[in-house]
Every structure is written in structure tokens, then in C-alpha cells.
Amino acid sequence: MTQAIGYILSATNDAAKLEHQRQEITAYCERNGWSQPMFYADNGRSGRTLDRPGLQAALSAIKPGSVLLVTAADRLARSVNDLGIVKARMRKAGARLAETGLKGRAPARRSRRHSSLTEGR
């Protein structure tokens, strides 16, 4: 069974936003028949840097065959360079990234965002 790791972020210290992300990632795992995710969170922290305790813990938990789930690419990284660093680390570990897609986003936009996480694996 796929080891699912959920990463959630709220820069505004908003527990409701974190819970919404947690629920969405959990539902995504259920729809895909994956294990319940282990969650790592950063609350009240900016996504402008990869130097976040929750993100670093999530990346340390990655094993071959696991998947790191976020609701949107900007929860993981805010720059193309940082996203590339995370993607390279995932490839090296034999793991992958997935974006669940936030409710209410246009499908075409969600598709482009998803491709930013999965292209070049």
C-alpha cells in the first residue's frame, strides 16, 4: 500500500485552513485506496522558504514508493527553484509528489498546477 505523507501549511496561523487541507488530503487518499496519511504541518509560517520544521520533517519521512501530498503547489514551495529542489529530492528517494487540488479552482488551472508537481519525474 502506498505510504501517504500529507503536508499542510497556513501562514496566517489559521487552524481552520489547516483542518480543511487535512480533510482534503485524507479524502484524496481514501479515493485512491492509499493508507491514511501521516501529517506534517507548519502553522503561522511563510511558504517563501524551504526552511520550515514541518516541511523538513515531512521530507525526512519520505521512503521509496511513498507519496507527498499537498492541496496546492504553493503549500509546498513558492518559487520554481524551491519546487525543483523538492522534486529532485523526491526523485532521488524514489518517491513522488501529488496535488489534490483545492475545491473551487477551475479544472484547467488545477491541471496546470498539477503538472508543475509531476512533470519531469
Spatial strand order of the sheet with 96-99 comes to 38-43, 4-10, 67-70, 96-99
pLDDT tens digits, residue range 41-76? 999 888 889 999 999 999 999 999 999 999 998 899
Question: Residue 111: which CATH number?
Answer: 3.40.50.1390
pTM: 0.82
Number of domains in the chain: 1
Residue 38 binned pLDDT confidence (cut-offs 50, 70, 90): very high
Specify the pLDDT at position 117. 59
Work out the average pLDDT over 8-30.
94
Work out the average pLDDT over 93-99.
95
Amino acid at 1: M
DSSP 111: H
Residue 105 has pLDDT above 90, yes or no: no
What's the whole-number average pLDDT of the chain? Answer: 85
Specify the pLDDT at position 102. 61
Q: Which of 114, 23, 22, 35 has the alpha carbon at shortest distance from 67?
A: 35
Would you tell me the crossing angle of helices 80-93 and 107-118 to the nearest 10 degrees?
Answer: 60
Residue 7 binned pLDDT confidence (cut-offs 50, 70, 90): very high
Specify the pLDDT at position 46. 86
Residue 21 has pLDDT above 60, yes or no: yes
For residue 46, give its domain range. 4-118
Q: How many whole angstroms separate alpha carbon 96 and alpha carbon 89?
A: 9
